[in-house]
């Protein structure tokens, strides 16, 4: 079985596992596991590794992100730490991975220039029985990760 793993990195991101390239059904999903370090949240790398170890017979697609103008130093550091932690866990588990820019996966999904919630709307169209998409905040993170994973199925 070759799973497609989509990861929206960051402490408010998520991970979605699609069954295979032949069957793009989400079979597992989770919000990014986090823990508190002082006043900030960090990716819980041990929990992330435990979760992903079960899907090491797959390929991961991770959103390739960068800092945005106007972000504070602290938030940029936290975001960068989260992204590095995710990539490090994937590499340590020896799961093949590809970094995908938002422009590429959103472009392929027809979401460039659309509103923020358009990805969740598209995911609901693709997977109408997936109840977790109905929760706006969680649903947006899951939809992003699912569409990132789905990117891996297309040439």
CATH of the domain at 63: 3.30.420.10
Phi, psi of 98 (to 5 degrees): -135, 135
Looking at 2-151, list the stretches that DSSP marks H as alpha helix, in order from N- to C-terminal side. 45-53, 73-92, 102-108, 118-126, 136-151
- Expressed as residue numbers, the domain containing 129 is 3-151
Residue 10: is its pLDDT beyond 90? no
Return the top range by mean pLDDT from 54-58, 112-116, 127-131.
127-131
pLDDT at 79: 72
**pTM score, two decimals?**
0.90
Give the integer Cα–Cα distance in Å for 127 and 32. Answer: 21
Percent of the chain with pLDDT over 70: 90
Give per-residue pLDDT as tens, 31-83: 999 999 888 889 999 999 999 999 988 999 999 976 666 666 566 666 778 88
Identify any residues that bridge with 35 across adjacent strands, giving them in sequence order: 42
Which residues neighbour 136 within 8 Å (Cβ) at sequence distance 6 or greater?
A: 117, 120
pLDDT at 134: 92
Comparing C-alpha atoms, which of 8, 38, 46, 2 is closest to residue 146?
8
């Amino acid at each position: 079985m070759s799973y497609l793993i989509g990861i929206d990195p960051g402490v408010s991101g998520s991970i979605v596992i699609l069954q295979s390239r032949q069957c793009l059904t989400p079979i597992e999903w989770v919000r990014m596991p986090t823990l508190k370090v002082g006043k900030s949240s960090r990716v819980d790398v041990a929990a992330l590794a435990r979760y992903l170890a079960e899907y090491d017979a797959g390929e991961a697609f991770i959103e390739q992100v960068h800092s945005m103008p106007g972000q504070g130093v602290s938030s940029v550091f936290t975001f960068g730490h989260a992204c590095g932690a995710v990539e490090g866990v994937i590499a340590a588990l020896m799961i093949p991975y590809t970094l995908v820019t938002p422009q590429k996966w959103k472009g392929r999904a027809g979401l460039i220039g659309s509103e923020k919630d358009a990805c969740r709307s598209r995911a609901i169209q693709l997977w109408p029985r997936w109840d977790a998409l109905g929760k706006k905040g969680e649903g947006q993170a899951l939809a992003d990760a699912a569409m990132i994973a789905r990117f891996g199925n297309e040439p």
